[in-house]
Chains A and B, each alone.
Chain A
Amino acid sequence: MAALIVEGLHAAPYGPALLRDIGFQLEPGEVLGLIGPNGAGKSSLVHCIAGGLPVTRGSIRFAGQDLAQWQAPERARAIAVQTQHSSLNFPFSVEEVILLGRIPHASGRSADLAVLEEVLEATDTASLRRRSYTQLSGGERQRVQLARTVAQVWRREDAGQRLLMLDEPSAALDPAHQRMVLQVVARVAADGCSVIIASHDFNLLASRVDRLLVMREGGQFAFGPPEAVLTPAVFEQVFDIPALVLPHPVSGRPMVVQP
């Protein structure tokens, strides 16, 4: 059974429609990439699935149940979101920030500390663990926020079905840490957690995701495996740029090159 089923989703919380007729399915452990120009609705879709934006029409079903029926605490045990901007400017230590991700779970202090250790290692934040969050650079903060978010859905026993959503998680990261993000994603996905990543880095996404959803003006332009979706025609129509799509010399997966 699919983990996430989105059908005919419309959202217009402030009048004009932010999302129009979105529909797709995501299996447990599958990774979905969201691409589209600025303002296409990627973040709106993430917030809508997370319950932060009301659904005007259509439905979102998660683990076989309409998400509107879920209580907030129950939802927080199963769905974790890394938003684009966090306004944290109080001097929590990095460890304290990551442990905030365990708030929804009553897993106990020792289990939470075990999660903390694993997540620190996976996100390469162990060297920052005692630093104050307010002293970190932009990229370091983004890694800590990633760590906090994955800590929320890290354990298989935390929820029957898990979903991790990352909204441009690697915008401020160096190339090595951009790879790290995808390794973390691969690791939680291999453990059965579904993942949605919004990003502008087509090549990084194409190398790892199972499905791509191309958005334009709040609507769904294309949905499918990267090989089917990443075509010169899509780039022409959606991003208004000419693009060549070549097979990657090593992996054979599609690779986007601007001429």
Chain B
Amino acid sequence: MPALRPTWLIGLQFAALPLALLAALALGSVSLGFGDSLGALLPAADADRAAAIVGQIRLPRALMAALVGAMLGISGAAMQGIFRNPLADPSLIGVTAGASLGASAMIALASPLIAGALGLTLLSAGAFAGGMLAVLVVYRLARTEVGTSVATMLLAGIAITALAGACGNVLELYSSNEVLRRISLWRMGGLDGADYPRALAALVITALTVVLLPRFSTALNAMLLGESEARYLGIDVERTKRLIIVLVALSVGCSVALAGTIAFVGLVVPHMVRLLIGPDHRYLLPASAQAGALLLLVADTLARTVVAPMELPVGVVTALVGVPFFVSLLRRRRDYGMQ
């Protein structure tokens, strides 16, 4: 039985989100205190230093961290549902590898242009296009006249991931040291490119995902029994798979385009939530979105503060923060019983 009532976890996380957001605004290489950072958000605030730091730098970055985390968390939960496999990860359908290749190609081929805001936009566009292209190929490969086979999709995803990786390596072979370093930094993931237009893009896609994915909760619950069982419960399995793949590809493509590849969130956040409240998607999906947002907010705040004025890649921190928590949950609940 779940360790926690689902509604309690959702309520708890709902209360924790504004606190984490406030902490993200207050903490950084220049510590501001909670009062000042709150004050800086008010319209009456003077154009002083605190307002500039919070308004121009920390707020868009914190918003983007929360939004990207939410997209990764809910996408991971949905993917594990349609693959009926707790080891599934949003990157399985090739989206992350495709986006990485798209971004690498942009960095390598258009490196003179990659500077400032325009460069970042080009990079994001390249990553998004690469991710979408990879998912399209994977989906076409898995599609037969009978339907879409998730097993084939998984294998096609692995194949496309390997292919994109190989192409990326070829690109790197012919790249200068400068380009190489930028590619590898981008791969580690980071939110330092955050600004309001990007946060807005993330907000639109997150809103779409968080509103639409939970409509498939019951279908996903039924599909855990097996696809034909779900069909005999009246679920339109093909439509469910198709729309979930589209939504996951959109949101993961968007998150990779904006923040690079942030490992671990999509795979482990749904697990943590499932360990706490059980596998019912009606609660799992929204709670995973919240938990992903919280984890990435906290991780990014740590990434900015621990070695300030330097910054750690946020992917490193998500792993360092998340793994001990996850391992302790696993040890406390040996009856998790996944096979």
A residues adjacent to B (C-beta < 8 A): 13, 47, 50-52, 72-77, 79-81, 83, 85-93, 96-97, 100-101, 103-104, 130, 132, 134-135, 148, 152
Contact = CB atoms under 8 A, between A and B. Distances in A.
B231 interface: yes
A51 to B, nearest CB: 7
A73 B337 contact: no
Interface in B191-250: 218, 221-222, 224-226, 228-229, 231-236
Contacts of B232: 50-52, 76, 79-81, 83
B146 interface: yes
A91 B233 contact: no
A152 B222 CA distance: 13
B226 A152 contact: no
A168 B103 CA distance: 53
A73 B234 contact: yes
A91 B337 contact: yes
Contacts of B15: none
B337 A134 contact: yes
A87 B84 contact: yes
Nearest to B228: A52
Given A72-B231, A80-B232, A92 B278 contact: yes
12 contacts: A47-B228, A51-B232, A87-B226, A89-B338, A91-B278, A92-B278, A92-B279, A100-B222, A104-B233, A130-B1, A132-B1, A152-B233
Nearest to A132: B337
B278 A93 contact: yes
B221 A100 contact: yes
Among B228, B232, B336, B337, chain A packs the most CB atoms within 10 A around the CB of B232
A79 B232 CA distance: 8
Which 7 residue pairs of A and B lie closest in terms of their CB atoms, listed nearest first? A76-B234, A134-B337, A73-B234, A90-B279, A104-B234, A87-B226, A81-B232
Contacts of B336: 91, 134
A142 to B, nearest CB: 13
A217 B292 CA distance: 53
A100 B233 contact: yes
A91 B338 contact: yes
Contact of A83 (B84, B229, B337): B229
A88 B223 CA distance: 9
Nearest to A90: B279
B234 A86 contact: no
B335 A83 contact: no
B339 interface: yes
A97 B221 CA distance: 9
Given A52-B228, A134-B339, A89 B234 contact: no
A87 B225 contact: yes
Contacts of B234: 72-77, 103-104
B311 interface: no
Contacts of A134: 336-339
B36 interface: no
A88 B222 contact: no
B165 interface: no
A51 B84 contact: no
A72 B228 CA distance: 12
